[in-house]
Amino acid sequence: MKNLTLVFIALIAALNFTACTDDDGFTFTAKPDPEGVVFTNSTLETYNLMASSSDNLAERFVWNEVDFGVQTPVNYEIQGATTESFETFSVIGVGTQTNLPVTVGNMLSLAREAGLDNDPLTPEPNTGTIYFRVRAYVGADAGNVVEQFSDALAISVTLPEAEEEEEVQLPQIFVVGNFLSGGGYGSDWTPADAVPLAASAEGNTDYEGFVFVNSDTPELKFLPTNESFDGDYGDTGENNGDFSGTIEQEGEVNAGTPDGTGGYYLINVDTEALTYAMTKTSWGIIGNATSTGWDSDTDMVYDPATKIWSLTLDLTEQEAPDNGIKFRANDAWDLNIGDNDADGTMEFGGQNIGIPEDGNYTITLDLSNPRQYKYSITKN
């Protein structure tokens, strides 16, 4: 697997704005942050864009918090363009958080603007480059805005040939509750900010995904769509926060967690069997490429801003599949993930992951996109 580390150093604009009132002579000054705006998430080498998966999450862009030195919220705007110059661009989203999900549909629109298509007469799938950047700014009026831009992030995209479009989007349901704000997803009990779970195939009802349920007293529900509470599923218990392992759509209460506490959970829901399960997880790596070998894990750290587990440590050269490392949860083999094809995508119970040479590495594990889990191993 080819591992890429992208470091983006923002341009710093020497801009100030000053607004005064005749009454008190107060001067309000905002200055650019010398550290600038920098993307911090890892990206795939190429994104395969299929129209049937337009609503799926393609990437969650993450960047650092910017400080303009003023007591006012900083706004962030993700812009997408077909050229690195951003002479023209589309606004993908705006908010005050330091991350934003971008869908396959968002990328597909830019790819088509760039002239890519999936004409069946094309001998090879169309591959090209689209660009994203972050605009951080304070102020609202055109004449009173201080802003900074990140460097352009180049994303390679591929549009498969038309016959490949027969693949359908994995069915999804969504988890909503009182944990969304604390988990870094958005506003509590807001369907649009709910976290997706995905089924294994079209027509299946075995939904799965990882969710950071960051609440001291978790309560949640499962939604058929992320547009409203229509048709929502809750627990069959008597009180909000109960966990029975079974769900219903009429007379339900808000579901809870098995032990009534928050954490990083693997959630499985079957809307036909009307059951659900929640497994609290904490992730680490294990293997003979680490100093502790196959005897014990080295713990990873979860960052709710990036939705990524990460770890930096020394590793030794090891060849897969017999040697290397694996990811596993809770210091046990009940839940472990590997890579069967050494392609950066992951499978439960998959093969060991090889290490190309001795060195100090940063390892990331991204479980935020249901059933499309990925990792990176980057030598420092």
Looking up residue 316, the CATH number of its domain turns out to be 2.60.40
> In whole angstroms, what is the distance from residue 256 CA to residue 191 CA?
18
Question: What pLDDT is recorded for position 121?
Answer: 46
Secondary structure class of 105 (helix, strand, coil):
helix
Question: What pLDDT is recorded for position 143?
Answer: 63
Looking up residue 99, the CATH number of its domain turns out to be 2.60.40.10
Count of structural domains, the chain: 3
Q: Is residue 1 part of a domain?
A: no
Q: Is residue 287 part of a domain?
A: yes
90 Cβ contact list (under 8 Å, min separation 6):
79, 80, 81, 109, 110, 113
Q: Is residue 2 part of a domain?
A: no
Peptide bond into 321 cis (omega under 30): yes
Pairing of strands 283-286, 326-329: antiparallel
Residues 126 and 196 in one domain: no
pTM beyond 0.85: no
Q: Is residue 10 part of a domain?
A: no
Question: 10 Å Cβ neighbour count for 243?
Answer: 17
112 Cβ contact list (under 8 Å, min separation 6):
none
Q: Is residue 99 part of a domain?
A: yes
Show the domain range for 287.
Answer: 283-379
Question: Which of 160, 135, 172, 158 lies closest to 37, judged by CA?
Answer: 135
Q: Is residue 65 part of a domain?
A: yes
Q: Which of 166, 188, 209 is the last residue of a domain?
A: 166
Residues 311 and 287 in one domain: yes
Helix (H) or strand (E) holding 302: strand 301-303
Q: Is residue 137 part of a domain?
A: yes
Looking up residue 189, the CATH number of its domain turns out to be 2.60.40.3620
Residues 54 and 34 in one domain: yes
Contact 37/10 with Cβ under 8 angstroms?
yes
Residues 274 and 296 in one domain: no
Residues 216 and 316 in one domain: no
Residues 91 and 155 in one domain: yes
Residues 268 and 295 in one domain: no
- Give backbone dihedrals phi and psi of 350, rounded to 5 degrees, phi first: -70, 180
Residues 207 and 219 in one domain: yes
Name the amino acid, one letter, at 142.
A
Residues 142 and 181 in one domain: no
Residues 50 and 35 in one domain: yes
Residues 44 and 116 in one domain: yes
Question: What pLDDT is recorded for position 56?
Answer: 78
- Looking at residue 35, the DSSP 8-state letter turns out to be T
Q: Which of 133, 149, 166 is the last residue of a domain?
A: 166
Q: Is residue 5 part of a domain?
A: no
| Each residue's pLDDT expressed in tens, for the chain with a length of 380 residues | 333 333 333 333 333 333 333 444 344 566 777 778 999 888 888 888 877 677 778 899 999 999 888 888 899 999 999 999 998 898 998 889 999 889 888 998 888 888 876 554 445 568 889 999 999 998 876 567 888 999 999 999 988 764 444 444 789 999 999 999 999 999 999 999 999 999 998 889 999 999 999 999 999 999 999 999 999 999 999 999 999 999 999 999 999 999 999 999 999 999 999 999 999 999 999 999 999 999 999 999 999 999 999 999 999 999 999 999 999 999 999 999 999 877 777 899 999 999 989 999 999 999 999 998 999 898 89
Residues 75 and 180 in one domain: no
Q: Is 330 left (phi over 0), alpha (psi -120 to 50) or beta?
A: left
Q: Which of 262, 280, 298 is the last residue of a domain?
A: 280
Question: Which of 119, 108, 121, 143 lies closest to 19, judged by CA?
Answer: 143
> In whole angstroms, what is the distance from residue 199 CA to residue 236 CA?
22
